[in-house]
Amino acid sequence: MSHYSHNCSDDLDTFWDELSNTCVPCHKHNPIRPGYEFSPNCGRHDDGGRSEAPYRPCAAQSFNNGSFVKCHPCLRCAPNNLKLSECNTTTDTQCCVARDQTRCWKGALSTTTQQTQRSTTLRVQVSTSSPTTAIHIDPGLHDYSATAWIVLTVILVFSALAFLLFIYIKKRRRRSRAFCFRGLWFDTDKQNTHQWSRSSKTTAAVNEDVALLQSETRSLEDILSPDLQSAPLQTVLDNLDVLEELVILLDPERPGVKNTSHLASRCSFPATWITYTYSLRESKSPLRAVLEGVTTKHPEWTVGHLARLLREMDRNDAVAVLTKLSLLKVF
């Protein structure tokens, strides 16, 4: 191997120090670097000049783990030994005796995991010999990239499915809420659970009429005949089927939907009376109490009066129920 110092030609791991007039080891002034070895005489001449950098990278099939001044040759596994990992510039070849297979496979798994973790790191080296920055990618990163793309694809697919499921559930809830606010679904307390089956039948019968009544262009005269509008309000109390359907629609308290309490207020009943009436709803319907009170105080009231109040409350579903009174003989 060539040398740069004539005074230290016998030990290439040293350089000539003019101050002390002695050969000084390279590692006294420059730390040992893993994957590298010292250049001959640290690249220095006897007069202090320099021909190359103090380090050289380890040659092929050699390594330095940071403990040696010179790179050491890589170990070759015996034919009956299992190779756990290949040699690189910083790590020697890892071998395992074949007769201890269990320990060998555990070591191989651990080494493979460590290599996979190392391969995920992109090593960027800045070249000092050129103004252009050189980027060197670990060869093991190619395998990692393929795995990463597969994992990323699976994540994107599941994310898209989760988003579509969220949109579907949101639309279903929106439809259910709109359907409920039209007065076709409603809550009843435990004492009135028997009314639910009848309300389902009422819903099916009224559904088509409600759709027609939602149009703002239809007036009340187009919905109820003049004879029916002029019929006494007592007619509603006398028709138990119609009254029961109105009770199911108007008595429940639901957010955003006007009910019997709003009707009572429009009929000038005081708030204390309304509260008291609702406190007795388990034994008597609040709507029935309101209608009975109106017919007592205002016997001149007609079905038309009730229909107009319901229209003002946006309860066209209840107006649709009043159209069933046309099937009766009204006197």
Supply the pLDDT for residue 178. Answer: 45
In this prediction, residue 58 carries a pLDDT of 96
The first and second tokens of residue 313, run together, are 């409350």
Give the pLDDT of residue 1: 63
Q: Which residues pair with 50 in a beta bridge?
A: 44
Please tell me the predicted confidence (pLDDT) of residue 257.
Answer: 92
Domain with 19, as residue range(s), is 1-73
User: What is the pTM for the complete model shown?
Assistant: 0.36
Domain assignment present for residue 112? The answer is no
CA dihedral 216, 187, 233, 270 (to 10 degrees): -100
In a domain, 14, yes or no: yes
Per DSSP, helices labelled H in 239-331 are 240-250, 260-266, 271-279, 286-297, 303-312, 316-322
- Interacting residues of 117 by C-beta distance below 8 A, sequence separation 6+: none
- b vs e for 69-104, b when ≥16 Cβ sit within 10 Å of the residue's Cβ? eebeebeeeeeebbbbbebebebbbbbbeeeeeeeb
DSSP for residue 254 = B
Asked which of 73, 93, 110 is the last residue of a domain, the reply is 73
Per-residue CA distances from 90 to 61, 66, 165, 266, 277 (Å): 11, 8, 51, 91, 89
67 domain residue, yes or no: yes
Whether residue 108 lies inside any domain: the answer is: no
Query: Measured in whole angstroms, how far is the alpha carbon of residue 212 from the centre of its chain?
Result: 41
First and final C-alpha spacing in the chain: 129
Q: Do residue 323 and residue 194 come from a single domain? A: yes
SS3 at position 261: helix
* Tokens 């756990």 found at: 84
- Is residue 114, in this structure, part of any structural domain at all? no
Q: Which residues have a Cβ under 8 Å from the Cβ of 12 and sit 6 or more positions away?
A: 1, 3, 40, 41
Is residue 204, in this structure, part of any structural domain at all? yes
Q: Tell me, what's the pLDDT at 81?
A: 80
Query: Residue 126 falls within a domain, yes or no?
Result: no
Q: Is residue 31 part of a domain?
A: yes
> Along the 331 residues of the chain, how does pLDDT read in single tens digits?
678 888 898 888 899 988 889 999 998 888 999 999 998 989 888 888 888 899 999 999 999 999 898 999 999 888 888 888 899 999 999 888 755 555 565 555 565 555 555 544 444 343 444 444 444 444 444 455 677 788 889 999 999 999 999 998 887 776 544 433 333 333 334 444 444 445 454 454 445 444 444 444 467 777 888 888 889 999 999 999 999 999 999 999 999 999 999 999 999 999 999 999 999 988 999 999 999 999 999 999 999 999 999 999 999 999 989 988 865 544 4
Q: Which pLDDT score, from 0 to 100, does residue 326 have?
A: 61
Domain count, the chain: 2
Q: What's the rounded Cα separation, in Å, for the pair 225 and 144?
A: 79
